[in-house]
Structure 1
Amino acid sequence: MTDLTELTAVQLLDGYREGRFSPVDATRAALERAERIQPEVNAFVRLTADEALARAAESAERWRRGEPAGLLDGVPVTVKDILLMRGGPTLKGSKTISETLSEKGRWDEDAPSVARLRAHGAVFLGKTTTPEFGWKGVTDSPLSGVTRNPYDPTRTAGGSSGGAAAAVALGAGPLALGTDGGGSVRIPAAFCGIFALKPTYGRVPLYPASAFGTLAHVGPMTRDAADAALLLDVIGTPDSRDWSALPPAPGSFVAGLTGGVHGLRVAYSPSLGGQVAVRPAVAAAVRRAVERLAGLGAYVEETDPDFTDPVDAFHTLWFTGAARVTQHLGPHQRELLDPGLREICGVGARLTALDYLAAVDVRMELGRRMGRFHDTYDLLVTPTLPITAFEAGTEVPKGSGHRRWTGWTPFTYPFNLTQQPAATVPVGRDGDGLPIGLQLVAARHRDDLVLRAAHALYEAGIAGLRPSGT
């Protein structure tokens, strides 16, 4: 009998259409998997089983009549607990938020991406874990504890969308919504062996607006690029609550998957010009995948984008955003914060408007340089991360010498500064069996190229991992 938790969203929809199984079957299987994995990996803040089964039953009836409600009718999804989902609280990993009252006095509003999923008939399994206010690249919080890696529970799942990544990797729903302000869908996806896309800024509307400003993106986290394209077709439409949202894409992302990589100009930067020390196993796996891209007809050149590490500018923008998030808290509430978050909030509160504008200048220059770079190259390929998953419950690997999570994520946050689409694709494992990710980056508004190249890697059998025992 088919294990429904092993199927992608595309495969589930095919099964519904052909009557081989129903949304109720798929939802029950996903909920059972979620309940089974929760004690070990801690991926969920809250499961909404009763609501999920009710929505699945409604979907099953629509499929029986041959009248599905939308592109994802009956597909189980999860939502990171940064995004509003009506009917329950959004606590953002923080003990400073009341479960009973939202800012408006009630929890009755969906974020734009959640609203689009609801309109297309998706089945919500529950909310997934996040570090407090999504502030760091691993997932642990004072509210919900440590989220662990599906391949080795002693290791981190990454963050800040760690619960979403672990849930998808382990079969607790094929689709997840995450957020990414400095790598937060790509980092955990790389550590957990799944696909994730940070779309061009504004492609997926965001409301309420993030205190981290235009660094913050909403993105799909999925089993493969085809599912991500389908999910982006649903959530990538404007919402009047987000004044910075882009107009609709000129065509379907699903329809654009099949072009392959033949003739694409690909720049391969293994270490950003020697700025990043990459572990040998990671470097070797990424290089093999790049060689396969060349074998599929891409013109590959080993070269580097023309920029130095913009971490200081990123920290200025990130730390001031964190200070803004917590500005309203009194002394007692501040004591409830993650100590690392409390520390960066203090730094951010001491920065000036001139410091902020100087960081914006760095950001604008970086964007100019990457724009010129993509006049020559369609895609930039790098490792997603220079390392694989390290011990759970710590912000940085022990003995690394890094002070903050940005020390081990130098490939991800630059492309939040530039607002470019960037995806991670699983392309192998290291000697400990831990996943390795390859990052694909394109010019702003060319999400289609990122998805197309990723899909080509999946079709060629390079990409795609599953943890054992799921």
Structure 2
Amino acid sequence: MKEVSTLIEPQPSSMPTVIEAAALVRKGCMTPIRLTELCLATIETHNSTLNAFGDVYADVALEQAWTMTAELQRGQARGPLHGIPFGIKDLFSTAGLRTTRGSLTALDSVPVQDAPIIRRLKNAGAIILGKTATTEFGWTGASTSRVFGNGRNPWDPALTSGGSSSGSAIAVAARMVPAALGSDGGGSVRIPGSFCGAFALKGTLGRIPTWPWSATEMLSHAGPITRTVRDSALLFDILSGPDPLDHQALPAPDESFLARCDQPLNPLRIGFCPTLFDTPVDAQIAAAVEAAVGNIARSLPVTVSTLKPAWQDPLATFETLWVAGRGIAYGKALAQQLDQLDPGFADLIRRSAQYSLSDYLQ
């Protein structure tokens, strides 16, 4: 990655969190217009360096913000996210808005229907500000992209943001938006979230409906990227629940995730495995994680036990699901376009031919 010496220090007070923004808008202390303008100004300042957003819908977003501001003046609100701008990972289908999936093979792809997660965001009052960068079809945890440019870390642009939900994590950490949507098959919200210092949670399979469905969705689930746990809890409340487009979607939870955040924490036992599957860990990383675990143990009613589970390394199983799933989902459609793909993804498509449907189903 080309070295960039200029550091970008995200300003803690420059962008409200989702819950803060909702309260400010509801009380009339900040209008959707002002909030959207703040987001667009921050994107204008930093996006050329960080490569968080591909398409930004400034005119459409501002028009929606004006409409929503007028609605509030009439005492109307569409939902708990009324007038709050969001970034959307460019893997999610957005009706009438280009969805490239980070690939040169899909630059002109415009879905005619929103994914359930997008529909629910809109119904809650969110403004879709733009599509955030992703690696090609979300295939890798790096941040490389021929479509968007390599994702750079807001804290030090000489470093990577991680991926594949690189743009969403960058956008939240750099205070471009209060929150963004990502998806995660093998770490694709957790990796960039941890690299960029944002809160990223991969939901349980079926917790947030997925559509359109493909063979990769057994591993890949949607999840928000936010700055706080409470913001994530609110978004899981809004986005969770069954949907006729997803046969794996779970019933709505019995209790609000956000309400659960306000309940006293019962004593818990936490298992800590510093060397899971005997994977080598850098000494600095190990020390940082152990320090964080120590802070948790001192500040919460928990007992931490160091464990070494006798689990079989799941890498071979994951490799089969990941590679074979990608082949089933994209192999036939992209077979004649391998020269346009990221070389690593093209190699993955070639390797997928080694697996049978039986291998995948087992």
- Taking structure 2 as the reference length, the TM-score comes to 0.92
The verdict on how the C-alpha distance between 1:356 and 1:25 changes in structure 2, with shifts beyond 3 A counting, is: same
Output one character per residue of 1:393-444: Cα deviation in whole Å (capped at 9) or x when no partner. xxxxxxxxxxxxxxxxxxxxxxxxxxxxxxxxxxxxxxxxxxxxxxxxxxxx
What amino acid is aligned across from residue 346 of structure 1 in structure 2?
Answer: R
The match for 2:308 is: 304
Kept after mapping to 2: 8 A contact 1:23/1:59: yes
Q: For residues 288 and 71 of structure 2, what CA distance do their matches in structure 1 show?
A: 45
User: Within 5 A, what are the aligned runs for 1:12-411?
Assistant: 12-99=21-108, 101-102=109-110, 107-272=111-276, 275-295=278-298, 296-329=300-333, 332-357=336-361, 360=362
Output one character per residue of 1:149-188: Cα deviation in whole Å (capped at 9) or x when no partner. 1111121111100000000000111111101011100000
Kept after mapping to 1: 8 A contact 2:153/2:170: yes
What amino acid is aligned across from residue 96 of structure 2 in structure 1?
Answer: G
* Helix, strand or coil at the partner of 2:35: helix
Q: For residues 152 and 45 of structure 1, what CA distance do their matches in structure 2 show?
A: 20
Kindly state the Cα deviation for residue 136 of structure 1 after the two structures are TM-superposed: 0.4
Q: For residues 346 and 230 of structure 2, what CA distance do their matches in structure 1 show?
A: 40
Kindly state the Cα deviation for residue 6 of structure 1 after the two structures are TM-superposed: 2.5
What amino acid is aligned across from residue 213 of structure 1 in structure 2?
Answer: E
Q: For residues 122 and 90 of structure 2, what CA distance do their matches in structure 1 show?
A: 16
The verdict on how the C-alpha distance between 1:162 and 1:228 changes in structure 2, with shifts beyond 3 A counting, is: same
What amino acid is aligned across from residue 25 of structure 2 in structure 1?
Answer: Y
Q: For residues 288 and 123 of structure 1, what CA distance do their matches in structure 2 show?
A: 39
Kindly state the Cα deviation for residue 303 of structure 1 after the two structures are TM-superposed: 1.3
Output one character per residue of 1:261-310: Cα deviation in whole Å (capped at 9) or x when no partner. 4401111111226x122222222222222223222211221113331321
* Helix, strand or coil at the partner of 2:331: coil
Kindly state the Cα deviation for residue 328 of structure 1 after the two structures are TM-superposed: 2.9
Structure 2: 5+ residue runs without aligned partners? 1-10
**Which fold has the larger relative contact order, with Cα–Cα distance below 8 Å and residues 6 or more apart in sequence?**
1
Q: For residues 5 and 115 of structure 1, what CA distance do their matches in structure 2 show?
A: 28
* Helix, strand or coil at the partner of 2:182: strand
Structure 1: 5+ residue runs without aligned partners? 361-470
* Helix, strand or coil at the partner of 2:177: coil
What amino acid is aligned across from residue 281 of structure 2 in structure 1?
Answer: V
Kindly state the Cα deviation for residue 330 of structure 1 after the two structures are TM-superposed: 5.9
The verdict on how the C-alpha distance between 1:303 and 1:259 changes in structure 2, with shifts beyond 3 A counting, is: farther
Q: For residues 277 and 300 of structure 1, what CA distance do their matches in structure 2 show?
A: 22
Q: For residues 172 and 217 of structure 1, what CA distance do their matches in structure 2 show?
A: 24
* Helix, strand or coil at the partner of 2:262: helix
RMSD, aligned α-carbons: 1.8
